Amino acid sequence: MSELYKKLDSEKGIHTDFKNNMTYGDYLNLDKILSSQKRLSDHHDEMLFIIIHQVSELWMKLILHELTAAIKAIDEDEMHSAFKMLARVSKTQTQIIQAWDVLSTLTPAEYLEFRDSLGQASGFQSYQYRLIEFALGYKSTHILKIYEKDPEVHEALELAFKAPSIYDVAIKALARAGFDINPELLDRNFSKVYAGDPTVAAAWREVYRNVDKYWSLYELAEKLVDIEDWLQQWRFRHMKTVERIIGFKVGTGGSSGVNYLKQVLDHRFFPELWDLRTEL
51 annotated as belonging to a binding site for a ligand: yes
111 annotated as belonging to a binding site for a ligand: yes
49 annotated as belonging to a binding site for a ligand: yes
Q: Distance between CA 63 and CA 189 in Å, rounded? A: 25
Residues 190 and 162: beta-carbon distance below 8 Å: yes
267 annotated as belonging to a binding site for a ligand: no
Those residues with Cβ within 8 angstroms of residue 277's Cβ, 6 or more apart along the chain or in another chain? none
> In this structure, is the dihedral angle defined by the CA atoms of residues 100, 102, 103 and 105, taken in order, positive or negative?
positive
15 annotated as belonging to a binding site for a ligand: no
5 annotated as belonging to a binding site for a ligand: no
Q: How far is CA 65 from CA 49, 77, 92, 168, 232, in A?
A: 25, 19, 12, 18, 20
3-state secondary structure string across 81-103: HHHHHHHHHHHHHHHHHHHHHHH
50 annotated as belonging to a binding site for a ligand: yes
- Residues belonging to the binding site are 49-53, 111, 115, 238, 252
- Residues belonging to the binding site for substrate are 49-53, 111, 115, 252
